Amino acid sequence: MKANYSKQEKLKSKKIIDLLFEEGRSVKAYPLRMVFVETALPEEGLHHQTSVSVSKRQHKLAVSRNRIKRLMREAYRLEKHRIDTKGMTFASLILYTSRDELSQAEVRKAMVKLINRFNDAITSS
């Protein structure tokens, strides 16, 4: 699998995002938190759509929010081959919960941990 993260893989539907906050389950790996739900996706041939989010309350400057989101996207791009959806389709949203700005290495390490816990969570259910 190629290590890219293009427009088609981003979660954009407002309805699915509302569904996530109502019915989604979550796994955590500091400083990240992933909310996910099993649902049908608008794009054909994809097993997983995701999106990233940073709280405006915790990071007031647009510059720092942009930087954190870029780091999260980069980490997801490099590590998404670890995701195993077992043939089901999932939508998810990754949230950043820390007030501090971390380095790329730390975010990537957390992303690996997060994806492993996600795999465990959907296997056990």
Partner RNA sequence: AUACAAAUCGUCUUAUCGCUGUUUGUUUACAAAUGGAGGAAAGUCCGGACACCAAAGGGUAGUAUAGCGGGUAACCCCCGUCCAUCGAAAGAUGAGGACCAGUGCAACAGAAAGAAUGUACAGAUCAUGCUGUAGUGAAACCAGGUAAACUCUAUGCGGUGCAAUGUCAAGUAUACCCACAGUUAAGUGCGACCCGUGCGUUGUGGGAGGGUAGGCAGCUAGAAUGAUUUAGCAAUAAAUCAUCCAGAUAAAUGAUAAGAAUUCUCUAGGUAGAAUACAGAAUCCGGCUUAUAGAUUUGUUAUUCAC
Partner RNA sequence: CGGGUAGUAGCUUAGUCCGGUUAAAGUGCUGGUCUGGGGGACCAGAGAUCGGAGGUUCGAAUCCUCUCUACCCGA
**Contact footprint for RNA (CB under 7 A):** 2-7, 10-14, 17, 51-53, 61-63, 66-67, 69-71, 73-74, 77, 103-105
CB-nearer residue toward RNA: 7 or 86: 7
Query: What distance in Å separates the CA atoms of residue 90 and residue 114, rounded to the nearest whole number?
Result: 15
Query: Considering the complex, what minimum distance in angstroms separates the CB of residue 53 from RNA?
Result: 7
Minimum gap (Å) between residue 123 Cβ and RNA? 27
To RNA, the closest distance from the beta carbon of 30 in angstroms equals 19
Q: Which of 96, 118, 109, 123 is nearest to 25 (CA)?
A: 118
Say if residues 83 and 115 touch (Cβ distance below 8 Å): yes
CA 106, CA 119: separation in Å to the nearest integer? Answer: 20
Residue found by looking up tokens 């699915």 in the block:
16
- CB of 108 or CB of 114, closer to RNA: 108
